[in-house]
Structures are given as structure tokens and as C-alpha cells.
Amino acid sequence: MRVAKATLKNGRTRDFVVVDDPPSGTMKEVFFTTDRKEVVCFYKDADAGRDPVRLQRLEAIVGKYNPTIPRSEGGGAQNDQDAAYYRNLFCWPTAIVTQPRFGIITPTYAPNFFFSEGPLKGNEKNGSWFTLTKPRSILAKFAPSELGNWRNYLALCIQMARSVARLHQAGLAHSDLSNNNVLVDPSKGCSVVIDIDSLVVPGLYPPDVLGTKGYIAPEVLATMSLPLKDPNRKHPSARTDEHALAVLCYEYLLLRHPLAGKRIPHANTAEEQDFLTYGPQALYCEHPTNNANRPIDLNYLSATALGPALSELFRRAFVDGIQHPNQRPTASEWVKGLVSTWDALIPCINSACSSKWFVLSNPKCISCPVCKAKPQIPIPVLKLRSEVRPGQWMPDGSLVAYHNCSLFEWHAFSNKFPGPASNRTPLAYCVWHGNQWLLVNQNLPSLTSPGGNRVPSGQAVALTNGTMFKLSQEKDGKIVQVELIQP
């Protein structure tokens, strides 16, 4: 084993293993440190270290913008808990390398972002393996456990949206969100954003790249032939990230690209055809009034099967926002919509179903959209309400219950929302027992029965149709109205 030493900008050193054919991307070559906990990424461009703009950007990224280091240590995270949460969501650069070449240090990807079985064992989990038909069929044959289930795809989309929202809240933009730069693990429901070193800070650090085919926003593609400094040319920004995020969510949840359908734009070359498909002539394959670009598979699963929250976000992203960037849903709106959809999930009763979970999107016709199996028992929907002023209760979310489904603080209190700092201690859970649904109290100190009596820990409230009760008598506590939906 040949070992060399990398000198960091702060004067420290890292030992790394030299190999003749290192992993390589468009801009960098990658070498593992001797303990394999980090990688040294050298820029291929010999002049990269002489660019003062690049150096200034990297110093800001490694330092004050870094959400994986608390502010008390010079980073951008609020505290240690915040920093620890985002270390799992980003592969964030930790240091600048000055010798023997210019580069950066980043953590090694967590082991679950590498395939653990099958012909791809040891390779990174690029998203295309899970969303494209042929690669997915290979995984289904040789490594079916890597495909996970639909609930896990929703979970990784929530993590991905939180990552992008965190960037945008700091005034940053990734500029090249794609299935190459967001690794995913559907077997565990995880995602991690990589290639952070080219972040865009509007007005300070311009973008290095336009993006990746299929994820570049239409306005960037349509104006890319204009001179770089032309005021009409559109550059990567938070708005273009929002387009790429919507594309990624659509791909992971519906296993196809939202702009690639049966329509083939008239073009002289394949490159021009792609340019028109994803740029000037971009058309949502589920456009509500224009069916010219419907998915090639006639039995496609529609976005409406994901429920009203996500269906509307996709409409805004690919109809309203396709040529009007300011009308696109923000990353924070995606987080909210994805989380509310999580609360509408129920497990499929068919053990052989590839999806395992589905969204209760149409209460009048409950069945798994993938395998068509129907539940055999009533489905309780807990309609949550919060008090906006004394005696006035307004709708504030809902939870579709299933056996052993848990309630958390954001279900019980109107001032809580699931996020990095949320308390994930279950407060109660629902069970199907004795041919009825029950809500069993675990940690709600003032759960109140429909009759007004306190329900102590370990006791239960029967979830019958029309039942209404308080989850908490404390400030911001919500009430529940139960609706039992018959299969």
C-alpha cells in the first residue's frame, strides 16, 4: 500500500492511499484516507487552487455555511444536535487541501449508500438504479432487498427535501441536484446530498456548472446559448434547485421522469430532441389539459394516487412553474407536503405486493394502486383540530391509522412540526383489538375521553365513528374527530 500525505490549509495533514486508477468524476479524483473515514478529493484542473473565487467559496462552505458544525465551532448549525442531524443528510466538505494538489476533504459515505449484494456490490447507490426500468429489473433479480418499499421512498424524499430546504434557508443553492449528486438507500429510507463544493451563493459565488441532463431547469436550458453575462441568461439558483427537487421526488415516488412521455419533439438530432423535451417544449406528462405527452406505459400510476398534497405540488412544479420559476413550490413546501402524505400511508394487506404501502388518496375506493388489494377492516382517520381562538377549532392535519401506528408530539400539539429537533418519543398508538380500533395512551398526561374523563397511561380510547376527544388539555393541545372508513 502506497501512502502519501495531504497538507490542509490549516496546516494539518491527512495520510491517504495512492492508487493508479482512483474513482473519478467530471471535476475531481478521489482517494481514501488510510482509516477510510474520509476521502481526499483533488481537482483535475491544475489551476483550481489559483482561482480566488473558488477558494473564497470553499472557505465559506467549509466554515460559516457548514450545517454539520455548530456555530460555537465556526460552522452554520444552531447547536450540536442540529449539526449531528445534518451530518446524516449531507456529505459536507470539512477541509481544504493545498498540497500535493488543490482539493478538499469530505467524509466517506455511510456504508448503506453502497450496494451490499448482487452484481453491484460495492458500488454507490445512484438513484437511476431505482427509477429506470432496466436497472431496476436487474436489482429485482439479483438484489431485491435493495429496492426497499414505497414508504421508504417517501422517507428518503423527506430527507432530500429537508436537505435542500436547509441550503436555501442559508441563502445557498446546490446548482446540480440530480440522481448523481443525491445518493439514496431505499432499503432504509435514507438520502445524502453530495458534491457540495460547487454551491451557489447569489451575488457572491457564481455557479460552476449548469446541472445534469433531465434535472436542469427549462429556463436554464432555453437560455444557455446566450453570452454568460447576458441579463436574459438564466443561471442555477434556488429556483432551479426547486425544479430538480420536484423531478427527483416524482422519479422516486412514481418511477418515471415527469417530462418524458410518449411525445417526441421534432428535431434533427438526439441532443436537440433532449433540449426541446426538457427545455423550451417541456410538457408535464400528467398535464391536466394537455394529454400530448402522457407516460408511455398506459397503466401508469398517476400522481393523484399520492394524495392531494403531492398531486398539487407536482402540478405547481410542472404546470405553473415549468416556465415561471417563481411559481414553483419551495423546498420547505415539499417538506410539508411529503410529511402530510406520510400521515396518509397505510400498509398493503398483500404480503407479495412490491409497494407494501400506499396513500389513502380516495376514501370512496380504498385499494392498493399497485396490486389492487383492498383492506378487510375499517380504516380510522384521525381528523386533527387546533384552537385558533377560544372555542374556535380549525382543521390542522389528519392521521390515517393502522395497527401499531404511533402518534407523536406534532400530532398532539399545534405548535410542533416534525423536524431535526423534534422529540420522537411516541405519545400513543393505535391498535386493532377485539374487533375494534383503540388509541392506547403512552405518554399523554392529559388525554381525555369523549366523556371528559382523563385516560391514564396504559389505558385506551375506543375509536368509533364520530368520536371526538382531546389529546391534551395543555396549551396548543389538539382534539381528534374519528372517521371510520369502510373498505
Q: What is the pLDDT of residues 117-150, one digit of tens each?
A: 888 999 999 999 999 999 999 999 999 999 999 9
8 A C-beta contact, residue 103 and residue 28: yes
Superfamily of domain 1-108, CATH level 4: Phosphorylase Kinase; domain 1 (3.30.200.20)
Residue with cell 389513502: 360
Q: Quote the pLDDT of residue 364.
A: 87
The pLDDT-based confidence of 174 (bands split at 50, 70, 90) is very high
Return the percent helix, strand and coil in the chain, to nearest 5: 30, 25, 50
Q: State mean pLDDT over 356-360.
A: 97
pLDDT at 202 over 80: no
DSSP-assigned letter for residue 329:
P
Mean pLDDT of the chain: 94
Mean pLDDT check: name the lowest of 239-248, 361-370, 401-410, 453-462: 361-370
Model pLDDT, residue 48? 87
Contact 180, 126 (CB under 8 A): yes
Average pLDDT over residues 405-412: 97
Q: Measured between alpha carbons, how far is 98 from 78 in angstroms, rounded to an integer?
A: 29
Q: Distances in Å between the alpha carbon of 258 and those of 106, 242, 248?
A: 33, 14, 9
Q: Is 289's pLDDT higher than 90?
A: yes
pLDDT per position as a tens digit, 59-113:
999 999 999 999 999 999 999 999 999 999 999 999 999 999 999 999 999 999 9
Radius of gyration of the chain measured on its C-alpha atoms: 25
Q: Which residues contact 449 (CB under 8 A, 6 or more apart)?
A: 455, 461, 469
pLDDT > 90 fraction of the chain, expressed in percent and rounded: 85
Percent of all residues in the chain with a pLDDT value above 70, rounded to a whole number: 100
How many angstroms separate the CA atoms of 183 and 146, rounded? 13
Taking the domains of the chain in order of start, what are their residue ranges? Answer: 1-108, 113-343, 377-485
pTM of the model: 0.95
pLDDT score for 306: 97
Residue 417 has pLDDT above 80, yes or no: yes
Supply the CATH classification number for the domain 113-343: 1.10.510.10
> What is the band of 312 on the pLDDT scale with cuts at 50, 70, 90?
very high
Q: Give the pLDDT score at 198.
A: 83
| pLDDT over 80 at 262, yes or no | yes
Nearest in space to 403 (alpha carbons), one of 435, 446, 365: 435
Q: What is the CATH number of domain 377-485?
A: 2.60.200
Q: In angstroms, how far apart are the furthest CA atoms of the chain?
A: 75
Shortest CA distance to 172 belongs to which of 207, 213, 133?
A: 207
Domains 1-108 and 377-485 share a fold: no
CA nearest to 157, candidates 416, 417, 344, 336: 336
